[in-house]
Amino acid sequence: MERTSAELKRLAREKLTGHWGLVIGATLLSGLITSAILIPFYCLFLFSGMGMVQFVTYMLAVLFVSIIAMLMRCGITRMMLGFARKRDPELSMMFGEFTRRPDRYILASLVIFGIELLCILPGSICWSVGMVQGAVLANVIGFVLYLVGIVVLILVSLHFALAYFLLVDNTQMGALEALRESRSLMDGNKGRLFYLYLSFIGWSLLGMCSCGLGMLWITPYISQTLISFYLDVTGELDRMEKPESCAEFFE
C-alpha cells in the first residue's frame, strides 16, 4: 500500500509523541560534540596566519568530524526506527553505530559522493574554463552540462536515499549491497520521495526564519517522516497494521 505524504507525516507525528525531548536532545548533543572537536582546529587555522599546513590540518579535521557526525546521525536514525516500532530507545543508541562496522557507512558515503561529484564535474570544469578564458560558447555549454548534472545528481540521490536506513536496519549488509537494494526499492518510488521532500520546503523556510531554532523540531519531523516512507516502501507498515486490522474484524 502506497501511503500519501499526508499519511506519512501523520504517522511521523504520532511516533514522535512523547519522544520529542529525546530526539532533540540527541540532535543538540551531536552538534555540541562535533563543534567541540572542530572549533580548536578552526581557531588554530584562523589565528596562525592561515598557512597551508594549518589549512590541510583543518580540512582533515573537517573530514574526521563529518564521519563522526554521520555515524551519530545513523545512531539517531536507529533510535527513531525504534519510535516507529513502538520501542523505547535510549540516548546512548546514538553512539551505537561506532561499533557496528562503521566502515560500511564510510564506504557508502564515499561511493555516493564520488558519483555525485562525477555528475557536476564536467559542467563545472567547462563553465570555469569558459569564465577564465571569456569564451561564450564554453560558458553556455558548461551551464547546460551543469544543469543536466544537477538533474542527474537529484536522480542519483533519490536512487540511494534508503541506503543508510538499510545499513542501520541490517547490521550484516555491506555498503554496495545497501546501495543496490536502495536502488531496487526506489524503482517506482522516486517521484513520491521527491514530492515528499518538496512538501517540507515551507517548514524548512520557517525554521530558517527562526534563526535555525525551529529546525530542532523540524529536522526530527522530516527524519521521522522519511523513516515512515522507508517502512512503507519495504512493506513493514502493512505488516504492522495487519494484526490491528484482524483484531478489529473479530471485535
C-beta neighbour count of 52 within 10 angstroms = 7
Which amino acid does the sequence have at 143?
F
User: How far apart are alpha carbons 38 and 56 in whole angstroms?
Assistant: 13
Per the structure block, which three cell numbers stand in for 74?
545513523
Burial 11-20 (b: 16+ CB within 10 A, else e): bbeebbeebe
**Quick check: 186 and 158 in contact, CB under 8 A?**
yes
User: How far apart are alpha carbons 232 and 29 in whole angstroms?
Assistant: 30
**Residues shown for the chain:** 251
* Mean pLDDT of the residues in the chain: 88
pLDDT in tens, 89-105: 888 999 999 999 999 99
User: How far apart are alpha carbons 163 and 157 in whole angstroms?
Assistant: 10
Write out the H or E segment, with its range, that includes residue 150.
helix 136-159
pLDDT in tens, 61-95: 899 999 999 999 999 999 999 999 988 888 899 99
What pLDDT, on the 0 to 100 scale, is given for residue 246? 43
Burial 139-170 (b: 16+ CB within 10 A, else e): bebbeebbeebeeebeebbbbbbbbbbbbbbe
Provide the pLDDT confidence category of residue 247 given band limits of 50, 70 and 90: very low
CB-count exposure of residue 246 (10 Å: 0-12, 13-18, 19+)? exposed
What pLDDT, on the 0 to 100 scale, is given for residue 47? 80
Provide the pLDDT confidence category of residue 7 given band limits of 50, 70 and 90: very high
Q: Check whether 161 has a pLDDT greater than 90.
A: yes
CB-count exposure of residue 77 (10 Å: 0-12, 13-18, 19+)? buried
User: How far apart are alpha carbons 20 and 5 in whole angstroms?
Assistant: 21
pLDDT in tens, 202-223: 988 888 888 878 888 999 999 9
